[in-house]
Each structure stands twice: as C-alpha cells, then as structure tokens.
Structure 1
C-alpha cells in the first residue's frame, strides 16, 4: 500500500483543482495490530489545521485563508498528509465562485475520502494560553534514565492501584517517524484520566520509546490510549496529541473513553 503513496518521491505540482490527489488509508490496518475490533474502545477525532490555503476568485484574483478540518475517529479511513497538502495546493490556480464554494468542495472531497462526514471551517483555533494548562502536570522535568527508543514499549508503564487520582499529565517529548520517509514527527501530548496513579517516570520512558517508531500520527495516539487502558485500567481516559506543522498542515488526534467531551481546540506555540 505504501508504495502507492506520494510520500518520498517527486510529485508534479498540481496546476488545477483535483480531488483525486487525496490518498485515503484504511484505519483497520493499524488498528488490527493493536487488537482493536469493529467496536471501537474510544471516541475521538483528528483535527487538521491548514495554514496555506489559496484559490482564485471568479475574476482571477487570489484569495487566501486558513482552515480547520475535523475527521471523526470512527471514519473507516484516514487521509495521508502529503496527499492532503497536494490536494489543497490544487486550488491555487483554479477559479471558484466564492469562499463558500471552496469550503463546500473541501468538505465533500474530504468526507468522500474519509468515508464519513468531515466538518470544515475557515479559521484556526486560538493559541493556547497559560490558563489552558492550569492544573495540569508537566512530566518532562522528571529525572529519569532512558534507553528504549526503537518501538513502543507498554511494559514500561506502571501504576499505583492503591492511589486513585484524577489528573492531567503533559509532555512535549513525543516523537515518532513517518512510516515511509523516516522524517521525524514531533508532538506535545496531554493525558487526562481518573484511576490508579500513573507513575510519571514510567510514563516518560514509555513515551520516549516511540522515538524511532514508524507510525502515522493517528495510530500513535491510538496506541497510547490502548496501552494505558490495558496497563493501568483507568475509569476514564483522554489522550490528545498536538503535532507540529509540516507542509502547511498540522494534525491533532484525540482519543477518549466514549462519552467524554472533547478538549478545547487550541494551538501550541510549536504549531
């Protein structure tokens, strides 16, 4: 499947609008390796933030915008990021009646590729402020020795079943690699839960174990969710990753125990 991807090879710059540039990938491929069946153990979405969107108006004058796309985690397919970049670039030299026409085209095309309704809005979420992380705990300062980097290692996780807590932990040390090009993907992670206290040093070792792992953003977040649920069995769990921008796009997957409200949409300073 990856040999057909536009990743890692020279691709002609699109000169006209072309929805066929979108490359959907079945989510089942990654979920099967995690033991996730048809009944998903989580709710969630993938929030894409697009910084480089342009088209020509009816008289040929360029227009520019930013946009946010919300792809439901229950959709059967995710959308490969470079194909999304190429698709958005295909708008650059094409005339559209107005911004509403562009928004409708994008919503229809992304929904068709994902196999579910994708919400499209012009504009971006606000930047995160100091108050957004108030009460959360930054674990990156934990003094810990680490020597596992090659693949996710859930056996490193540890919890204290005698201590029941409700807290939010955050880290900026999540890194994985593109499964085709090997380019690094960087993210900040927020883990909110109620249940046995998660050992913070153990959690940091586990997150760093993704460092040389090849996996798509969405699959990495789903693995963190599944591993924490299996190892610590919290009453509820929410995992959100905010990945840094590449090619004018960033992606923010969120997975949570069904019924939990989504976190407030925010952009980190690294985005």
Structure 2
C-alpha cells in the first residue's frame, strides 16, 4: 500500500517559506531520511533583506544534504568551511557530536535569484551519532549522471542504477534526481526496506493514479516504475532504517537526554559559531 504525504507550508521567518514533507505524523522517516524540506521556487529580488538568510544554528546526530535546482546558497560552518552550493551540486555536512552553520543568499542581494531546491537530513546510525563533524562539497561533474529514453538522472548519494556516488554516507541508502520528459518512464531502485519518491515539479502516473508536485509517495516492496505525465523533476530516495530517532528543533538523537543536553549547550553558548559568521545566531525556540 502506498502512503501519500503532502507538503505542509512552513514559514521559517523573514519571508522564507518551505514545503515540509518529513517528518510527518504518520511517517517519521524513510530509511535514514528523517527530514525533507522543499525550498521554493522563490523569486528573490535584488537587495533582498538579510532577514531571509538562515542565521547560524546548530545540529547533532545527522547529516544535512543540500541540493538545488536553481539559485545559490552560501554555506559557512564552525569547522571553517565557506562553500557556495549551486544547481546539481551537493553540500553534505555531517553534524555528528555537534556543528553550527549558516546559509545565506548573498548572490540574491546583489543581482536577484530564484531559489529552488531540497534540503534533507539523514539520521546517523546509533554507533556513529557522536562522530567528529565534517563537511564535503561535490560539484556536478563529480556526481554520476545518466540519460535513458527521456530520463536524465543524477545520483546524489549512495548506490542506485548501477552507479555509486562519491559522497561518504554512513548507512545503506540511495538518493537521486530524475529530470523526466513527458511520457518517460523511470525505474525505482529496489533492494532497500524503505523507499519513496517526491514530485518536485510536474506530475506523474504511478500504479494507475496521477500525482501532482508537492507529494511524496512512500512505496511498498512491489513498486517498480513511474511515468511522467508532463515535464517533471522527481527525487527518489530510500535506505535501511537506523532505528527510532527523536527530533527536537535541529537536533536528532536516539536519546532524549542527548537532545536536552544539546539544547542546554546551545542555550548556554557552549557551541562554537562559524568563525566567518559569528555576529548573530538563531536562539533556541521555546
């Protein structure tokens, strides 16, 4: 049986609105994927206010995966990395025992931009939740691509379609972007306990029903393919479950006590801010 999750619009402040997909009340995770936000499409006029930016904030117990269809985001973190992410590139940040970062729209302030992309969080396996934080950037040329019968695919992370991405992951998973022409059919990778597709743009036919953009379909073990009814961008994802996880704000852990400790550390100013962006931060929400 297929579960259908519709994005819920969330205002992050300053006019930044996203479509929240995961976590969902009836489906907290898909494999290790515990968070899935659809950003935009959002037209940013030249001179956009800095209140649109995502100010420095903390994470533990997860990896953030930023992937854009259009636009540009400047990432700065407490490890000293300063890296722009552009379309078809990947910023993969492993928080482990703790990291802070900011995401700012600097190009938009000077020339305007259209922001459109996905940010996902991948929960770390229990034995790796407290590993040292790390960051890696992967350009479009470093990510495997393929083209077949109207489908242009790019593997973002993990292994699928006979390919393996160079992004270091910590548990079995796959994550890919399919750009599908009208009428094109795409296979959905198997071999994992949990899988899903997310329709970012367009519309697809799946098992005889039509699904529009903004919907995630959580699949059963038998689902094998989908067909684009119009030009569509589809994300396919899945992997092996890592066990129950608790989520509070930007923190993920298998332990509620650890979440409380992380919140206490942030509230008390014990988590280092990015050196290149340390003049403001997002306070712990009530």
Shared fold, TM over 0.5? no
Kindly indicate which of the two structures has a greater share of residues assigned to helix: 1
Kindly indicate which of the two structures has a greater share of residues assigned to strand: 2
TM interval, short-chain normalised: under 0.3
TM-score (norm 2): 0.26
Which structure has the larger Rg over C-alpha atoms?
Answer: 1
